[in-house]
Amino acid sequence: MIFLVLVFSLEVSNAQLYVTSTGGGVVDLWNTSSIWRTIRNSSSAIKVLEYDSVKKYLYAGSENGIVNIWDLDRNLLVKTWNENGNIISIKKINMTHLSLIANNQLVIVSELNYSRKQFGLGSGYQLDTLNIIENENKILIGSGNKKTLSIFCLYR
């Protein structure tokens, strides 16, 4: 049996930690030599992780559409919701918003009230890449099957 291990590096309280997930919704936070904390995300395999170093939040998205936000300082599940589809990517946009790809759409989520806005590129596009240009308020979306890169500009 082959396991895919998702590894992510983060810094908590000036210590280097690593996050791994091997399936079954379990996330292990490691210090340099041992497991520091284990959290259960959902019953489904975790596909993506994002870390907010200011809030010390860990964002986890699973293949069954569950998104969880964990406060690592308080070991508290802050918010959970279902996007009803595989989560491809999660990225923080700024202090109040995050973005994700789910159900072949870009979803912008406000962390103030967890309202959501969905955007699609049209039929035939399979969204598979998400990145943020932090200081320019731009979201980059890639579609491998159409070999395209789209840019969403965020304005208030």
Domains identified in the chain and CATH numbers: 1-82 (2.40.10), 84-156 (2.40.10)
Query: What is the average per-residue pLDDT within 90-112?
Result: 92
pLDDT of residue 15: 58
Indicate if the pLDDT at residue 4 is higher than 60: no
User: Which tokens sit at 130?
Assistant: 């998400």
Q: Please name the residue ranges forming H helices in the chain.
A: none
In the three-class reduction of DSSP (H, G, I as helix; E, B as strand; rest coil), residue 155 is classed as coil
- Residue 101 tokens, joined: 């790809």
What residues have CB less than 8 Å from 66, skipping those under 6 apart?
Answer: 41, 42, 44, 80, 81, 82, 83, 87
pLDDT of 31 higher than 70:
yes
The rounded distance, in Å, linking the Cα atoms of 12 and 72 is 8
pLDDT band per the 50, 70, 90 thresholds, residue 99: very high
Give pTM, 2 decimals. Answer: 0.81
Task: Convert 18-47 to b/e letters by CB count within 10 Å (16 or more is b).
Answer: ebbbeeebebbbbeeeeeeeebebbebbbb
